[in-house]
Amino acid sequence: MSKKSQNSLYLFDEPTTGLHFSDIELILKLIQKLIDDGNTVVAIEHNKQFVQNSDWMIELGPFAGEAGGSLCYQGTGNEKD
């Protein structure tokens, strides 16, 4: 991230898949830098450590496909569970 960006939307689809726990900490720091620089970050993620660091969480479900898509929860990641 050599060029500073602002007012951009970053969308990540399960960014922690396959990462070691220490690498998850690194990606959380990088995402926080994007936010601190004035960007918006949206992530689709299942990793509890990642979710607990989010500002806002939306959980859809309760199942996949046609049985899913209902709003099950919205709030901060720390309030869930």
**For residues 53 and 25, what is the distance between their CA atoms, to the nearest angstrom?**
10
Over residues 3-28, the pLDDT tens digits come to 677 899 999 999 999 999 999 999 99
Of 5, 12, 8, the C-alpha closest to 28 is: 12
Over residues 28-79, the pLDDT tens digits come to 999 999 999 999 999 999 999 999 999 999 999 999 888 889 999 999 877 7
DSSP-assigned states of every residue in 50-63: HHHT-S-EEEEESS
Of 66, 47, 65, the C-alpha closest to 57 is: 47
Encoded tokens for 71? 């709003």
Of 38, 36, 35, 42, the C-alpha closest to 57 is: 42
pTM beyond cutoff 0.85 = no
CATH class for the region spanning 9-75: alpha beta
Domain boundaries in the chain?
9-75
